Each structure stands twice: as structure tokens, then as C-alpha cells.
Amino acid sequence: MELLIDRQITGAEKIFSRLGSVRLFDGRDISSADLGKAEALLVRSVTKIDADLLSSSRVRVVASATSGVDHVDLSFLRKSGIQFFDAKGSNSRSVAEYVVCCLFDYCQLTDARLDDLTVGIIGFGCVGSALGQMLDDLSVEFVVYDPINKATDNAQRASSLDEIFQCDVVTLHVPLTFEGEFPTAGMISEEYLEKLKPGQLIINSARGGVLDEQALVRRIHRTNQLYAIIDCWEHEPDINSELLASVWRGTPHIAGHSLEARHRAAEILYGSLSEWLNVDVLAFPSVESSCPSRELVAHADLTIRDALLNVCPLEVYTRKIRGLLEMTVGDKKAYFDIIRQESGLRSQFSAYSVEPLKLNNAIIPTIKTLGFK
């Protein structure tokens, strides 16, 4: 069997070649003419899967190294008898850590105490619940709004979005959906953005399209002390320049893009394809083998925020992505993908070891709670 695989997927050639012959492609640059004899197609969120791409192909299975599936026409795949697999949950911890980094950065700027904040989580699936666990460990109060996922848990539930928008921080963790009882496309409309007060923080690390970007621009311009962090944008890579220039922090869709998340996504797809093919294959390499251990440089003056900025330098990412403001549409595409790939080389907290004897004793419990070794 021939597998056509996005070259940015971990182990694209070395590992998946155990399942068949492998051919690589660049995620955004693929057409039906490129499919050839491929029977398996492995993609990321940058590749749109629909009838235009697959209707005349030999593809029998599509696997996406993502949690979200808004780039996939699932109805077409079902009607065509094409098997589909995703990597749901693979990036949950990575996104949760990104949001925690945002919170510490926000506290530094506003002189707020982390444990005095209330966080409103919209969407309590894999990512939202992972974030909730981290906030619980850090003794941060949070409220959840998720009318679809009503699983029994200890989370405090909000009765409406209105209640969420009373929190100090609003963070989005929903898929992009257009149908059903609770579609999420445009759910954070101007009506809700108008409820944001000076000093509040709103974070979108879910999907572009769940938030009305132009309404957010207008709201920011009317309230200088409104803090917005956007990781997921509509129409990537040709993103909203006005919004990019207005937000406090902007990143190139990298919240879930850690080395560990990418490894886990590939591992999930490898397992799914192996089972579908009914073949016995060698075990997938351990996460430690492809995600190197790192050392956090410790000293007595190190703060939690300093430690997190070593892992996820939000201000650096923001400076880089604002380079798009000076570019033409054609140049934006390549530059966005370059900085996304570079930023995706970050590791999760658990990859970092730190020498506690060199730290201020006051921060050691939090460092350990966050997962640093």
C-alpha cells in the first residue's frame, strides 16, 4: 500500500514506512493530481479533505494528525466508504500548558494573583478538561460552559455564556462546527464581546471562526485595557491584519504544537492504521526517544513567569507573527508556515529538569505542580 503523508507529521517516512511505501508532500500544496496510487492519506489541519481532492482517487483511508476535524468533509468520506481516523486528545496537555503560560504572563502585566482569578472555560472536552485539571492543581477557580458535554465531574458549571463572560479570563476550547443544536461557528459574537470589561483577558486557542474577529477589533479599540490572545485565526495563513495589530499577544496556531503533542498524534494514527490494516508491527518509539530532555536554567531570582517564558516565549512569538503585517498575501503563506514550524519545536513542561537548590524556595511547589522535573 502506498501512503501519502504530510512531511511535518512525526515519523512520516521512517516509522510509517513499516506499513507500506511512503511518499511525502507539503501540507498546503496538494491537489488531486498528486495522489497517484496512494491508498492512505495522512494530513494535518492545513489540508482540506473533500470531494475535489479525493473523488477520483484510490484513497481508502484518511488519517488526520489533529483533534479538530473542520478541515475534513466527513459526510463525503462516509458516502464514499473512505475510512477516517483522527488524533483526538493528542494535544490536550500542550494547549492547556499554553493557556497557563498566558495566565502567568497576564498576571505579571496586571499585578494580579493567579489564585485570585476566575477563569471561564468554554468547551470541556479533551482540552478544556486538561486545562481544568491544571487550574485545579494550581488552586485557580474556574467555571465551565459546555451544553454538549454534560459528563459528571467536579467542575462548576455555568448556566450560560453570560456567566462565563463575568470571569476575569475567558478561554475558548471548542471545535469549529456549523450544524447541530449548538454550532460553534461565530458563537462568540459581538453580543458577547460587548460584555467584556476593561482588564479582562480573552484567549482563542480553539479554532478560527468561533469568534467574530472584526467585532473583537472594534471592542479592543474602544477599551485600551482589554487583553486578547489569539492563536487560531480565520483564513490562516492570510490572517486578519487589523486583529493582529490590535491583540496583546498573537501566535501562529501553535498552542497544541509541542513536540510531545506531535509525537502522540503520530502514535495514535500509527496504531489506528495498524489495526485497520490488521498487521502486527513494531511498537511506536517512546516519546522520550523523539522529545529530548531539556534543562531549565535555575537561579535565585527566577520567577514562575520567567520559567514559563523559557518554554513558551509569547512575546517573542508575537513579534515574529507581526512580521506578517509588512507582507503581501503571497509572502504571508510561506512566512506563517515557517514561524509555525519553528515555534512548534517547543517541549512540554515535563521535558524540563530544574535544580531546586538554585531556586527561590517560594516557587518550588508551583514549579513541581506544573510538571517540571
| Pairing outcome for strands 249-250 and 40-43 | unpaired
Enter the C-alpha cell of residue 141: 477557580
Q: Which of 207, 263, 264, 340 is catalytic?
A: 207
Q: Which of 97, 213, 234, 236 is catalytic?
A: 236
Q: Give the whole-angstrom CA distance, residue 315 versus residue 110.
A: 15
Indicate the DSSP class of residue 234. Answer: T
**207 flagged as catalytic:** yes
Write phi, then psi, for 8 (nearest 5 degrees). Answer: -85, -5
Enter the C-alpha cell of residue 303: 520567577
Q: Is the separation of the CB atoms in 101 and 308 below 8 Å? A: yes
Q: Is the separation of the CB atoms in 74 and 271 below 8 Å? A: no
**236 flagged as catalytic:** yes
Residue ranges of E strands in the chain: 2-6, 21-25, 40-43, 61-64, 83-85, 118-122, 141-145, 156-157, 169-172, 201-204, 227-230, 249-250, 294-295, 352-353
Q: Is the separation of the CB atoms in 166 and 190 below 8 Å? A: no
Q: Is the separation of the CB atoms in 20 and 43 below 8 Å? A: no
**13 flagged as catalytic:** no
Q: Give the whole-angstrom CA distance, residue 117 versus residue 336.
A: 33
Q: Which of 173, 219, 253, 263 is catalytic?
A: 253
Alpha carbon of residue 211 to chain centroid: 15
Enter the C-alpha cell of residue 17: 514506512
Q: Sign of the C-alpha dihedral, residues 323, 325, 327, 330?
A: positive
Enter the C-alpha cell of residue 246: 490590535
Q: Cα-atom radius of gyration of the chain, to the nearest Å?
A: 21
Name the residue with cell 454550532: 183
Helical ranges in 121-212 per DSSP H? 126-137, 161-164, 190-193
For the annotated catalytic residues, the residue numbers are 207, 236, 253
